[in-house]
Amino acid sequence: MQFRSALTASYGTGVRDAQREVSIEDHIRVGSVTKTWTTTAILQMVQEGRLSLDDPVSRHRPDVPNGDNITIDQLLTMRSGLYNYTETLDLNSAMDTDPQRVWQPDELLALAYRHPPYFAPGQGFHYSNTSTVC
C-alpha cells in the first residue's frame, strides 16, 4: 500500500519584527542552498553509475577551461581553481544598475572564464559559485 500526502504551509515573517506574515505565494531567494541540492543530484547520478566523481569536467562540459584536469569532485569541493564569477566587477556593476536582471548560466560562466584560475586544480580551496554552474 502506498500513501501520498502533501503539506503546503508558510510560517513567520519575511522581515524580522514585521507584521505581515509570509504566504505560500511569496518568493524567497534561496541562494547557495542550491549547491547542496546540486551536489545531492550529482551524488545520486554517481550512485546510479551515470558518472564518477573522478570524471574530468571536459567529459560533460567541454567548454570549461582546463576541464581535462578538473574533476567533478574538485568542482563540488571548491578545489577546481575556477574564478568565482560573483567576484567580477562586471557582474557587480551590472547588478547595481539592473538588480532584477535574470542571468543565464553561460553568461555567468563567460564572466568567470575571462579571469585566470586561482590555482591549479586540487592545489587549493576557494569558494566559487562558478563550480556549481559548470
Q: Which residue has the cell 568565482?
A: 84
**123 residue type, one letter:** Q
87 half-sphere exposure, CB direction, 13 A CA radius = 15
Annotated active-site residue 32? The verdict is yes
Nearest alpha-carbon partner for 119 in 91, 59, 87, 78: 78
Q: Exactly one of 10, 32, 52, 93 is catalytic; which is it?
A: 32
Indicate the DSSP class of residue 12.
Answer: S
Local structure of 28: helix, strand or coil: coil
Report the C-alpha gap between 83 and 5 in whole angstroms. Answer: 43
The angle subtended at Cα 17 by Cα 13 and Cα 21, nearest 5°, is 25
Residues labelled as active-site residues: 32
